Every structure is written in structure tokens, then in C-alpha cells.
Amino acid sequence: MRHFLVLVTASYAGAAACSWWLSGFVPRFLLPDLPFLAIVYAGIFLPGPIGFLAAIPPAVFREVTVSAPQWTVFLASMALYFFSREIGMRLFLRTESFILSVVAGLLLAESVSLVILMRLSGSPSFSFLWGLQEAVRIAWTSLIAIPLYIDLSGRWRPVRD
């Protein structure tokens, strides 16, 4: 229950800070996507129904704060949870470089799928500046994930050697 409450609180605080409080002062691409990090953490580190239940509120927060067609971000976030769960069950290692590559890879896959969906819906093409902003967002969020995940997993799970 403690895992659930901590992840819900952190993802709500992150979504609130990024979308309501800081959105007028700091560019969006410099703000970390804390609900995304909570969903990936729940998929990698929390087994069973606790992880699934802990991933639902951050997915709702992402759905509410991102302007997209209804249910698309929520369903994409739940797919992200199941994909990160498979990574956590099959090939997760507790090294900093692996955490960085997993989070950056998932963010990159999410960005590419967003571009594909927007192109299929007939939206105008994306600029080079948008690509640079996405690269900064991916790098920044991935770098924040390393100390966050290592600290939380160290506190909540004993190391098995």
C-alpha cells in the first residue's frame, strides 16, 4: 500500500507542477514527465496487482494534462506499463546505464508513435526545433530516472545477490 501511495502522490505532484504551476515559466520540454516515470517504475519494480493499480492514477493524470483525443494517452500509458513490466520481468538489470537506456528507449518509442499518429491524422509536419526539444526532454527525464529509481528500489527492495 505504501508503494501505491508514494507513486500516486509523486505522479500527481509532478503532473501538477509541470502543467499548472511551472508551465508559464519553464518550457515544457525542460520539465520531467513524472507520471511517465511512475508508470515505468510500477512496471519494472512492483509485481502483481499492486503495480497495475499504481500505474492507473499516473495514466489518468497524463490523460488529463495532455491535449490529445480521448483515451489515447491513457491507453498508451497502460501499454507502456505492460511493456515496462515485460522488461522488468525478463531482462532488467540494476545498473545505471540500463535504467538510462530503458527509460530513454521508452520515451523515444512514445515520441515516435506520437509523430506517426499525428501524421496519420493529417496534422502538419513537425519541425527540427520540435525534434531538438524532444531530444532534450528524453535526456532530461531519463537522467532524472536514474537516481529516483535507484533510491526507491534500494529503499523498498532488498538486494538479492
User: What integer pLDDT is reported at residue 21 of this predicted model?
Assistant: 63
> What is the pTM (predicted TM-score) of this model?
0.83
Q: How far apart are the C-alpha atoms of 46 and 50, rounded to whole Å? A: 6
User: What integer pLDDT is reported at residue 59 of this predicted model?
Assistant: 92
User: What integer pLDDT is reported at residue 159 of this predicted model?
Assistant: 46
Give me the average pLDDT of each 10-residue run along the chain (161 residues).
Answer: 81 78 73 89 89 94 81 87 88 77 90 78 76 87 87 65 40
